[in-house]
Structure formats: C-alpha cells, structure tokens
Structure 1
C-alpha cells in the first residue's frame, strides 16, 4: 500500500513539474513576443514628431510638405535599395542656399566643429542647415509592403551601400558642397595617420564638388591634440592639394584643439583669427 501511494506521489510531482515547465515556457514566449513587438514596432509618429519639431525652428519652410517628400524616399522600399536619387524630391523642396566664405566641412572632427559653430556664427556646417539639423543623429528605414517608418532593425552604414541614412547623407553632402563659394574651410584630425581618408565623405564626395569657378580657396585646419601623428606635410594632405582644380588656392595650418575651443568661447575675437 505504501509503495502504491509512494509511486502516486512521484507521478503527481512529475506532473506538477511538467505543468510548471510548460507554463514557464509560455511566459517566456509571451515575454519575448512583447519585447520584439516593442522593439520592432513602427516609429512613424515618433520620427515625424522629431522631424517637424526640428524643422519648425527654421523659418519659411513648409515642414509637412518636406516630411512627405522625405518619407517617400524610403517608405515601402527594401532598406538596402534606397539609392541617392531617391531623395531628389526632398532636396527640391528644401534646396541648399549658396553660401560664400562660410562653408565649413569636416572629417573625423565632428565634436570640435560643432562645439565651435554652436558658439560662433561665422561658419555653417551641413548639420547647421535645415535638413542636416533635422536628421542629424537619427536612424530611419522602411520595409517592403509597409507604409511605416522604422528606427530599429535598419541596416548599418557599411552593411549595404544604398541604405536610407547613408544615401541621404551622401546626397546632402554633395548638395552642400555644390552650394559653397569663395573660401571653404575644412577641419581635419591631426591625431590619425590619414587626416584625409579616401573613403570619407569629405574626400570621396565633397572635394570633388569644389570647383574653381565657384571656390577660390580651400583652407585646411589640422586639429592637433596631444601627441599628434600627422602634420600639413602628411601624404594624404599633399594628395588633397594635388587633387584640387588648377588655380584654386590651398592653405594648411596646424592648430591646437585648445586654441579652437578658447577662440570659440571668445565672442570678441574675429573667427578668422582662431587659426
């Protein structure tokens, strides 16, 4: 009799354990589904709200119309099949205004450049323009068969060439450089072996659009931190000068980062004297 009850007790414990494991598995599946649903859900309203809020800080732009032109470039498309030309309508709605002697380009010096332009209204970077400011730091993509905007599960910059973010910045950089005239300034990083990386947007896109009929001088500011590894005679900078149109003036200066920071904080100092 005791053996019968002992066997029954073991069967009950096994059954309870099995029920517990099944319930646990169900909870795990539901939790994962909820997490994935939150992570991968469309973010159209959030992206649109950010886009419009930033856009409305600039005057004389129809932000709703510009938003529609922006989303048409990538919505419903494979996120690796959004070529540069997909943004043509967007840049027709918000073209770059020609800017003489104020264009500032940069490569691997983003923080230094924007810390400076945030304090001094002497130069304009791409990220200071309306479209550059609106989309700076954002990630977006669409999906085939969907009318939504997504901010997760989008391809990275190097994952595929024709992804929405990369194509936008490539076209924006080309348009911004096309609008430059007079003197153009570029801040490069003296703490890396190649301040002019051939694969960078500056070297591969922007420089190719600086032509002598509009741009008369390229001023290179080589930002020097502690223990710099490059100077104005570095091979990549020599190659940059050789690449410019005949007749275009070229100037390179090695400037300590601390000097740029100090000058940026002194509104009485002419911007040109910062380097």
Structure 2
C-alpha cells in the first residue's frame, strides 16, 4: 500500500492536535448535556461586583479579597464532574467568606422565599442565609465546571435534582450548614401555613442540613412562625399534625421548640398590600 501524500499526513496531524486541545480524543467523553441552564452569563463580574457592594453596605465585615473569593469558586469546580461536587470541595470558599452571625438574628425558612426576604429587607432585624456575605454573593446564580477542561460550562449544568452532588446544590448545602453552625441564641423559622402537604418537607434543606447543624449548646430555642398566605387557606397551624411531627424532630436534636401562628409583624407586612383583608383588621397582637 502506498503512503498517503504529505498534505494528507499534515491534515491528519492537524485533526489529532485539535482533538487533544479540546479534550475529545477517541475514548474520552464530551461534556454531557444536562437538564439545567448553563453557568450564568458574566458570573465573574456579578460575583466580584456583589462582593464590593456587600463590603460597602456592611463595613463591619472588613476588607475581603473579592478576586480571591472568585478563584476559590473556580478551583472548587473546574476539571471536575459537575455531578460529583461535594460540600468538601467548597471548604476553602467557606473559609475565606466566613462571617459572624449575631445571636438571636438567624431566620431560617422553607417555602416562604419571597415573603421572608421582603420581611428581612423591611425590618433589618433578622438575617437569612441570602443576607449573609456568602449567600449574597451567589444567590440566584448557576455554575458548573467542565470535566476535561478548565473554566466553566456555559451551555448546561445539572438541575437541582438531576444528581445528588451537583455544583449548585452542594454549595447551598455547605452554605446552609455553615450558617446553622454559626447561629446562636433564638433561631427563628418562617414556614408557609398555606402550602400543600407537609409544612416542612423531610427532604428540605431545613430538615436535612440546617436543623441537624444547630448547636444545642449555643442555640437556646427554635421558634417557628407559621404564616398563612393572606389570600390562602389555613392548611397548617401550630397544633396540626405536620407541626407536631416537626416539633418532635427538632426536640430529637436536643433543641427547645416553640411555635407562633401568623406572627403579627409578618402579617403586618402582608397587610401593606392587602389593607382591607379581614385578617388585617384584627386588634390582637402577638
């Protein structure tokens, strides 16, 4: 058999070199297509901008290395399978973004995302995870790395429930655990009394991460606020079976429990948008 011409050899060499550069040699899989959206556009600028913004709003946090924090995120996920990222991978990021949480200020939540953050913004008396430095930096963002190459995948990332150890869910579990561990005094929890099913789902981060990471030697009480939607049904209250089960779960972790139905300051915020509603014309206060 005659040898291929030099031009053909050059073409073959070019194709092989291209495959090596792109991590696509025969036998090596391409980055798979995931169910979730890809890394948020301009994520680096967003994170670093938020970092400087948070330092401006909260000077007590001190000067932080915003570029260094961003690099810790990159180091945690690049060249790794996006479905094999664990909380341990974010250990360094948690350390460089650590923050003291004032006692009696922690406000955990489940199924009350919009209301709880309206409340903390309006009163500034409590702190949710998303109000902390770490939560503020990455709230609402999506990211994941590429298994075979450096950098981030902007085409697709695993959805929250697509695999157990994906980039975003492992991050929030890590951040939630750190927030709970830093909490002290009274820890408040806002739950949705109008939600379908159990008021606190057993697979929720509240149940699987936050409550188990509260330190009974530092937390004096877990105070649950059951808040009905102002126009919604009263499906759960402090004496409902779902809340009694949650009470048992909290007390199993050696934590004191108490419960309030429709905590009046939160209901007052709801009434700002619904001043004529019957629930807004009560004269009793808690």
Bin for the TM-score computed over the shorter chain: 0.7 to 0.9
* TM-score normalised according to structure 1 size: 0.76
Listed one character per residue, the Cα deviations across residues 198-231 of structure 1 (whole Å, up to 9, x for unaligned) are 1000011101112320000111110112212111
Describe the SS at the equivalent of 2:126: coil
Distance 1:182 1:189, change over 3 A: same
Residue 214 of structure 2 corresponds to residue 214 of structure 1: no
**Which residue of structure 1 lines up, in the alignment, with residue 202 of structure 2?**
198
Structure 1 distance, partners of 2:221, 2:73, is 33
**Which residue of structure 2 lines up, in the alignment, with residue 15 of structure 1?**
none
Listed one character per residue, the Cα deviations across residues 61-105 of structure 1 (whole Å, up to 9, x for unaligned) are 111111111111101111111111100010111113132000000
Listed one character per residue, the Cα deviations across residues 228-264 of structure 1 (whole Å, up to 9, x for unaligned) are 2111122232122222357643211111764343589
Query: Which protein has the larger Cα radius of gyration, Structure 1 or Structure 2?
Result: 1
Q: Structure 2 regions of 5+ residues with no counterpart?
A: 1-37, 56-62, 274-283
Maintained 8 Å contact 2:39/2:157: no
Maintained 8 Å contact 1:43/1:148: no
Paired residues, what number?
228
Listed one character per residue, the Cα deviations across residues 143-197 of structure 1 (whole Å, up to 9, x for unaligned) are 1122112344100000001110000000000000001000010000111231111
Structure 2 distance, partners of 1:161, 1:52, is 28
> Which of 237, 253, 260 pairs up with 2:260?
253
Describe the SS at the equivalent of 2:262: strand
Q: Structure 1 regions of 5+ residues with no counterpart?
A: 1-41, 265-272
- Normalized per residue, the structure richer in helix is 1
What is the CA distance between 1:137 and its match in structure 2? Answer: 0.6
Describe the SS at the equivalent of 1:100: coil
What is the CA distance between 1:274 and its match in structure 2? Answer: 8.1
* TM-score normalised according to structure 2 size: 0.74
**Which residue of structure 2 lines up, in the alignment, with residue 85 of structure 1?**
88
Structure 1 distance, partners of 2:155, 2:129, is 25
Structure 1 distance, partners of 2:198, 2:285, is 23
Residue 155 of structure 2 corresponds to residue 148 of structure 1: no
Listed one character per residue, the Cα deviations across residues 11-31 of structure 1 (whole Å, up to 9, x for unaligned) are xxxxxxxxxxxxxxxxxxxxx
Task: Please give the residue correspondences for 1:12-31 in structure 2 after superposition, counting only pairs within 5 Å.
Answer: none
Structure 2 distance, partners of 1:106, 1:69, is 28
Q: More displaced, 123-132 or 220-229?
A: 220-229
Distance 1:235 1:152, change over 3 A: farther
Maintained 8 Å contact 1:107/1:187: yes
Describe the SS at the equivalent of 1:49: helix
Structure 1 distance, partners of 2:155, 2:141, is 11
CA RMSD of aligned residues (A): 2.5
Structure 2 distance, partners of 1:67, 1:260, is 36
**Which residue of structure 2 lines up, in the alignment, with residue 230 of structure 1?**
236
Structure 2 distance, partners of 1:150, 1:125, is 29
Structure 2 distance, partners of 1:208, 1:43, is 31
